[in-house]
Amino acid sequence: MDLGSLIQLMRSAIITIITVASPVLIVAMGVGLIVSIFQATTSIQDQTLTFVPKILAILGVLAVMFGWMVTRLT
């Protein structure tokens, strides 16, 4: 395997990883932002309040996008 094909293989792997992980990360970031704005508005400083909505949102995205993710990875 020469250097050019190795670089192309690594580039393709990185693009695939970013493509597959981005829906989950974007939803987690959006939910975290919404929850933090809610916490700042209501002056609630409970640390566990941020985890439950994020986990539920991530599980929802994984349930909806799992087929696409597996197809993209194979």
Q: In total, how many domains does the chain have?
A: 1
Q: Please indicate, yes or no, if residue 11 is contained in any of the structural domains.
A: no
Q: Please indicate, yes or no, if residue 35 is contained in any of the structural domains.
A: yes
Structural domain that includes position 40: 20-73
State pLDDT tens for residues 22-41. 999 999 999 999 999 999 89
Average pLDDT over every residue of 36-61: 89
**pLDDT given at position 45:** 81
- Tell me 62's DSSP state: H
pLDDT of residue 49 exceeding 90, the answer is: no
Compute the distance between CA of residue 52 and CA of residue 57 in angstroms, rounded to an integer: 9
CB 72 within 8 Å of CB 19: yes
List Cα–Cα distances, 19 to 14, 51, 52, 69, in angstroms: 9, 24, 25, 9
